């Protein structure tokens, strides 16, 4: 049974930080949120994550853990009395990890490609690739959920957290681009899943409002043409 001091270094607008918040909420674990200011890195961050210098960092009893998905697995390993985040079956765990890596390494970079795209042709190409990726994830959802509400089954799990954390920025992109990326026509299951995910108790107070994210997006675009990539 884990007790002890839990601090989270992060910023509310970062989907990677949101992942950790959701995981801690699932475990009903209290924590101190240490907000990093946009555009600067605190001494504590640089000391706790000297390798990547990025948020989120979980500091548990003064020991830092870095990389959002490593942190989520750590939370699941430590707080064992709460609901499980990773599936119990080894094969299902491997599949959840596989798709989480796909989201991080293949799909989310396409969103960044869209934000940086110059000209209609580049934008259209990025939108098409994002759409294709979402169709792949729609198929993954059908296989993983096995007819239930979430990738993780009856309740939110590892892959729901990994992919769902990007829904805030997905909505911003849709609103600002006046387009639909997640559509009823092509990805009906994901549309419903997204609704359920965002309403879940562990998630609903975590994402900043879309308007707030749009504000932040505009600031970052003005600075370097891209929203948080850490």
Say whether residue 143 binds other proteins (CB under 8 A): no
* Shortest distance, position 228 Cβ to other proteins, whole Å: 18
Residue pair 65/58 in contact (Cβ under 8 Å)? The answer is yes
**Is 35 one of the binding residues for other proteins (CB under 8 A)?**
no
CB of 26 to other proteins, least distance (A): 16
By CB under 8 A, is residue 102 in contact with other proteins?
yes
Pairing of strands 6-10, 32-35: parallel
Report the C-alpha gap between 133 and 24 in whole angstroms.
28
- What's the gap between Cα 99 and its chain centre? 13
Query: For other proteins, which residue of 67, 115, 151, 160 counts as binding (CB under 8 A)?
Result: 67
User: CA-to-CA distance for 59 and 24, rounded, in angstroms?
Assistant: 13
Alpha carbon distance 224, 211 (integer Å): 20
Between CA 29 and CA 42 the distance in angstroms is 24
Q: Least distance to other proteins from the beta carbon of 136, Å?
A: 7
Angle, CA of 153, 164 and 124, to the nearest 5°: 125
Judged by CB under 8 A, which of 41, 53, 97, 196 binds other proteins?
97
Q: Does 70 bind other proteins (CB under 8 A)?
A: yes
The C-alpha angle 51, 38, 170, rounded to 5 degrees, equals: 95
Residue placing its CB nearer to other proteins in the complex, 36 or 92:
92
For residue 39, state whether it binds other proteins (rule: CB under 8 A): no
Stretch that binds other proteins, among 96-104, 165-173, 175-183, 186-194 (CB under 8 A): 96-104
- Residue closer to other proteins by CB (options 71, 114) is 71
**Rule CB under 8 A: which of 190-219 touch other proteins?**
none
Residue 7 pairs in a beta bridge with 32, 59
Give the residues lining the site for other proteins (CB under 8 A). 51, 60, 63, 65-67, 70-71, 73-74, 77-78, 90-91, 93-95, 97-98, 101-102, 106, 136
């Amino acid at each position: 049974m884990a007790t002890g001091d839990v601090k989270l270094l992060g910023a509310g607008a970062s989907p990677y930080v949101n992942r950790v918040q959701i995981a801690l909420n699932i475990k009903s674990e209290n924590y101190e949120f240490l907000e990093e200011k946009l555009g600067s890195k605190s001494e504590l961050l640089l000391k706790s994550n000297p390798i990547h210098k990025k948020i989120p960092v979980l500091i548990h009893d003064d020991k830092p853990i870095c990389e959002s998905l490593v942190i989520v697995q750590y939370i699941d390993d430590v707080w064992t009395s709460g609901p499980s985040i990773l599936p119990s079956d080894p094969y299902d765990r491997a599949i959840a990890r596989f798709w989480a890596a796909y989201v991080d390494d293949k799909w989310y970079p396409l969103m960044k490609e869209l934000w940086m795209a110059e000209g209609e042709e580049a934008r259209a190409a990025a939108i098409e690739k994002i759409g294709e990726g979402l169709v792949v994830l729609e198929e993954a959802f059908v296989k993983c959920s096995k007819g239930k509400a979430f990738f993780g089954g009856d309740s939110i799990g590892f892959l729901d957290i990994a992919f769902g954390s990007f829904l805030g920025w997905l909505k911003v992109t849709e609103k600002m681009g006046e387009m639909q990326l997640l559509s009823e026509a092509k990805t009906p299951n994901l549309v419903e899943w997204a609704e359920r995910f965002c309403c879940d108790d562990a998630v609903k107070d975590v994402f900043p409002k879309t308007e707030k994210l749009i504000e932040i997006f505009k600031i970052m675009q003005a600075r370097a043409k891209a929203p948080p990539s850490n």
